[in-house]
A and B are shown apart, each in its own frame.
Chain A
C-alpha cells in the first residue's frame, strides 16, 4: 500500500485521538482552575443603612436564594453593664439542587463574628439559639445611634457562597437599647 493511502486510512484514528486528548485536557484544566470564587469583599461603609439584600441571579431558582435573616434583635440582659447582644431568629439560605453551600458568614461593624461551614448541604439553616446568647456589642449611651432614647446602631453583613461561585448578601443595621456603665466610688470618711 502506498504511504499516502496508509495515511488516509490512519488519519481518522489520529484525528480522533487528538480530539479526545484536547477534550480531556480542557476538562483537567477546568477542574484544576476550580470554580470561580467571589472574594469576601469589605463590609459596606459604617453607619445606619436601609436593609438591602442581593443574590447572584436575583435570588430566583435555580440560583442561590436570598438569605433569610428575620428579626435582627439587640437585647440588654443586664442593665448597667453596657453589654448588649445581637441575635437573629434564624439565618437560612439555599443553593440550587446541583450545588452545595460552602459557607455563610456574619460580620458586625465590619468584623467577622461567625463562620458557618457547609458540609455536603444544599441549604443552610442556623437557628438563633445555636449562637446563643448572641454577639456582644456595646449598647452605647442615649442618642449615640441617632435616636434620642436609644443606644448605638450596629451594621451587619451576612454573606453566603455556594460551589458554583454564586453568592448572596444581606446588609442591615440594628439599634440597641441605651445603657451606661455606672461606677460607684466608695465614700471614705476621714477619721
Chain B
C-alpha cells in the first residue's frame, strides 16, 4: 500500500511539473504587488491583466490590449533610420472608464501617452503616431537574428478607473543597416 501511494504521489508531482512547464496551470503571481488575473504567452509576446493592489482577484472588466502588427521598417536603405509603429492600439474597460494607455520602448523610455476622457474604450490608430518612432536599424545580427538588425522590446500598459491594469510585452526586430 505504501509503494502504491508513493507511485501515485510521484506521478502527481511529475504531472504538476509538466503542466507548470507548459503553463496550463500556474499559481497566481503578482506584478509589483498587483495580482495577475490573466496571462498569455506566445513566443516572445506576453500579455497580462492585473488586479488592483490589495484587492481580491475578480473577473476583470478591462480587456487585453489589442496591439497587432508591431512594425519596424526602413524607408531608406542608405540611412541607419528605422521606424516602429503598430497597426492600432485598442483596449476596453466597460463599464469602467479608461484612464491612460502608455507605450514604452524599453531601451528609450515612454514614447506615447494617451489620456482617457470619460471613455470606456480607447483606440489609437497608426496614423495618430505619425511616421512611427525613429530608431537605429543596427547592423546585421545586432538583435540576435543573423538576417536582421536591432531588436526593440516594448511595453504597452493601460489602466482603468477601477484600478485594473492591462499590459502587453513584446519585441520587434528591425531590418539591418548595410551601408
Contacts and interface: CB of A to CB of B under 8 A. Distances in A.
A121 interface: yes
A132 B131 CA distance: 7
B69 A124 contact: yes
A136 B73 CA distance: 11
Contact of A102 (B8, B43, B127, B176): B43
Interface stretch (A9-17, A64-72, A181-189): A9-17
A137 B96 CA distance: 49
Interface of A is mostly: mixed
B142 to A, nearest CB: 13
A21 interface: yes
A158 B178 CA distance: 19
A159 to B, nearest CB: 11
Interface in A79-110: 85, 100, 102-103, 106, 108
B45 A119 contact: yes
A40 B173 CA distance: 14
Interface stretch (B74-82, B104-112, B115-123): B74-82
Contacts of A147: none
Interface residues of B, number: 45
A25 B71 CA distance: 38
A85 B172 CA distance: 24
Contacts of B72: 114-115, 117
A133 interface: yes
Interface of B: 3-4, 7-8, 10-11, 14-15, 18, 21-22, 40, 42-43, 45, 47, 64, 67-78, 85, 87, 126-127, 131, 147-148, 168, 170-176, 178
19 contacts: A13-B4, A20-B15, A24-B14, A108-B77, A111-B175, A113-B77, A114-B71, A116-B71, A117-B172, A117-B173, A119-B67, A120-B45, A120-B47, A126-B71, A127-B87, A130-B87, A135-B74, A136-B77, A163-B42
Which 3 A-B pairs have CB atoms at the shortest separation, nearest pair first?
A114-B73, A112-B175, A117-B70
